[in-house]
Amino acid sequence: MTGRLLAIIGFLALSPAASACRFAQDAQPAQWYEWSTSLFAADVASVELDKQKSEDVITARIVETFKGPEGAHATLRVPSRMWASCGLVRPQAGARVLVALNPSSDALLVPLTESYRERLRPLRAKPQATAPAPAQSGEKPFSY
């Protein structure tokens, strides 16, 4: 019984990390928009290891913003263990990546191909010059 309990506790402790790994590997463009508060394409300028915190400090030049505030540069802190545990490639300087930050400032960073970038563009939030017209009775202003 004790072994079974330990296995369940271990599974529950690893679930958030496993879930984030699956998301980073399998997410569709709309899911990136839902998860993130900031979403952008960037070119990696440098990757340095912060040994004291066991994390990679990644500096990137933003080349296209899909969601969130515009910016020129970003500095990201990513746990070093994430690359191996999630089966992701640790980016090298010069790599084009998709960067997503959630409301808790957790960062996900994955290689970005031009074809995937094209799939993200139609979902980009368009700034509105005026407030939208009120919905007609029985009509919903949005759908899921």
Q: pLDDT at position 86, please?
A: 85
Q: pLDDT at position 75, please?
A: 94
Running DSSP on this structure, what letter comes out for residue 121?
A: G
Q: Which of 32, 17, 26 is nearest to 86 (CA)?
A: 17
pTM for the structure as a whole: 0.73
Q: pLDDT at position 126, please?
A: 57
| H runs (alpha helix) in the chain | 2-26, 29-35, 81-86, 114-120
Q: pLDDT at position 135, please?
A: 47
3-state secondary structure 14-28: HHHHHHHHHHHHHCC
Using only C-alpha atoms, the chain has a radius of gyration, in whole angstroms, of 19
Q: pLDDT at position 89, please?
A: 84
Rounded distance, CA 58 to CA 89, Å?
13
Q: pLDDT at position 111, please?
A: 93
pLDDT along the chain (144 residues), means of 10: 40 45 82 94 96 94 95 92 87 96 89 94 67 44 31
Rounded distance, CA 114 to CA 47, Å?
22
The Cα angle at residue 113 between residues 143 and 83, in degrees rounded to 5:
95
Q: pLDDT at position 21, please?
A: 77
Domains of the chain with CATH codes: 2-123 (2.40.50.120)
Q: pLDDT at position 1, please?
A: 46
Q: pLDDT at position 18, please?
A: 52
